[in-house]
Structure 1
Amino acid sequence: MSDNLARVGVLVRPLAKNDPQQIGPFRIIGLLGGGGMGRVYLGRAADGRPVAVKTARSELADDRGFRARFAREVSAAQQVGGPFVAPVVDAAPHDDVPWMATACVPGVSLTDAVHDCGPLPEHAVRLLTAGLLHALTAVHAHGLVHRDLKPSNILLTAEGPRVIDFGIAHSAADTALTTTGTALGTPGFMAPEQLVMTGPKVTGAADVFALGG
């Protein structure tokens, strides 16, 4: 199955010796990458469906505040629907290593598409923007803020764009601010209020700022 996913744009790397073989009900078969929260694995459900399983970094897992926020975020994220988001299928915020699994969507990131093929044509940009606006509307309707919307968190698929990682960015970012005094995000796509600890509350407006970026 991992070979099939690789052929349609999902890059899967072999597991290292210290990588888990099982997370929750999912058998882990490869490494997809890493990010602000932790590592992302390709998993396989009992019925054969592919899932992306994101695990928390150790400093996040050791923070009770993160676990509480993560549980709330997951609960809200599981309610988010629509054709332009990768849905949450399962999560365990209170496991020794907190994790969340989303549907694994075959596609290429916007970052890779632009890097490999150059700027998108105008009609494709219009369709992409419309899809992203629908995705953010669905996310914000459930009280979530993505906080790290960027080209690598946007997948281009045969059915249109998909926004990923919307269920964890808020809780992870709040923990980073509390424990390190620094913002968690990607320069160039972060709204001004994300860069200061004592500024206004971060709302969905920050995602709109990132979309403009």
Structure 2
Amino acid sequence: MAPRENDGAGAEAELPHYAGHYRLESCLGSGGMGVVHVARSTSGMKLAVKVVHARYAEDPEFRGRFRQEVAAARRVSGAFTAPVVDADPEALRPWMATLFIPGPTLSQQVKRNGPMDPAQLRRLMAGLAEALRDIHRVGVVHRDLKPSNVLLAEDGPKVIDFGISRPTDSELRTETGKLIGTPPFMAPEQFRRPREVGPAADVFALGSLLVHAATGRGPFDSDSPYVVAYQVVHDEPDLTGVPETLAPLVLRCLAKEPDERPTPDELMRRLRSVAASYDT
């Protein structure tokens, strides 16, 4: 029997069903763009498959974004990202399959177990710096690095979800009046000059993410996204609770001006000296 297409508004609730030749076994989570499933290939390989919501599948603009996500994810490779196995952005319900990475998200980990200790934070920061180096090296800007987009695998953190990333030479631009990102982890330029966002915005997000991992809150904290946006652009970050060995580096990541932030390569060099301080 041929695999059934997972089309129709109610298909997301039906199990088992398929994306291409991949059997969708259970739901990992649902977001604004689609549903992520645990899946199996014909050979039994375990995968994570994102299937676009039916209501977006007929939207040409959305399909353009999804094609861009697939292209960006395929360009990126490295030890700290989840490799793309297969994808079909032209399917009735567009989908993308990546290797399944066992482990909680950083958001889940902090919620369940509380803040990380200094050694864990250093390893997290180093892994994310290496991931950003690989992402930026192929000309991609993630633009939405946040705790729910970082998986904590046994061999280090993995950056996932390139849904709003874009190549630096992309012709797809942010629309006037629309903010793309998650306010507590967005850089000032994402609010002020969204069309000019570059790799340094991901470094700012890394700094915000480290504060969250160290304290359970962000460096700019409010229940209102509008207040957070104002704080990001105008206020100094609150680094209370961030280990002294890491605080100066995190503060540099959170500089208001992009050219004042360290590059991922510089972060890795600085973190080597932090690691040495733990070993002595």
| TM beyond 0.5 | yes
C-alpha distance in structure 1 between counterparts of 2:189 and 2:15, whole Å = 36
Summarize the Cα distance change of 1:212–1:23 in structure 2 as closer, same or farther, 3 Å threshold.
same
Structure ID, larger Rg: 2
Instruction: Describe the superposition over 1:10-53 as per-residue Cα deviations: whole angstroms up to 9, x where unpaired.
Output: xxxxx964567111110011111122422111111111111111
The aligned counterpart of 1:121 is 117
Residue 184 of structure 1 deviates from its aligned partner by 3.2
The aligned counterpart of 1:50 is 46
Equivalent pair of 1:36/1:184 in contact (CA under 8 Å):
no
Summarize the Cα distance change of 1:24–1:91 in structure 2 as closer, same or farther, 3 Å threshold.
same
- Which amino acid is the alignment partner of residue 200 of structure 2? A
Instruction: Describe the superposition over 1:119-142 as per-residue Cα deviations: whole angstroms up to 9, x where unpaired.
Output: 111011111100001111111122
1:208 to 160, 182, 203: 203
The aligned counterpart of 1:38 is 34
Equivalent pair of 1:39/1:57 in contact (CA under 8 Å):
yes
Residue 175 of structure 1 deviates from its aligned partner by 8.3
Residue 112 of structure 1 deviates from its aligned partner by 1.5
Equivalent pair of 1:37/1:169 in contact (CA under 8 Å):
no
Aligned CA RMSD, in angstroms, stands at 2.6
1:62 aligns with 2:58: yes
Residues 1-213 of structure 1 mapped to structure 2, 5 A cutoff? 17-18=13-14, 21-58=17-54, 60-166=56-162, 168-170=163-165, 178=175, 181-195=177-191, 199-213=194-208
TM-score, length-scaled by structure 2: 0.62
Instruction: Describe the superposition over 1:94-153 as per-residue Cα deviations: whole angstroms up to 9, x where unpaired.
Output: 112221111110011111111121111101111110000111111112222212111111
Summarize the Cα distance change of 1:62–1:205 in structure 2 as closer, same or farther, 3 Å threshold.
farther
Q: Secondary structure at the match of 1:31?
A: strand
C-alpha distance in structure 2 between counterparts of 1:170 and 1:47, whole Å = 31
C-alpha distance in structure 2 between counterparts of 1:59 and 1:143, whole Å = 31
- Number of aligned residue pairs: give it: 194
Instruction: Describe the superposition over 1:173-208 as per-residue Cα deviations: whole angstroms up to 9, x where unpaired.
Output: x98954x94323222001233335x64422222111
C-alpha distance in structure 2 between counterparts of 1:109 and 1:181, whole Å = 31
| Greater Cα offset, 75-84 or 88-97 | 75-84
Q: Which runs of structure 1 show a deviation greater than 3 angstroms over 4 or more consecutive aligned residues?
A: 15-20, 57-60, 174-178
Q: Secondary structure at the match of 1:169?
A: coil
Summarize the Cα distance change of 1:194–1:106 in structure 2 as closer, same or farther, 3 Å threshold.
same
Whose helix proportion is higher, 1 or 2? 2
TM-score, length-scaled by structure 1: 0.80
Structure with higher RCO (Cα < 8 A, 6+ apart): 1
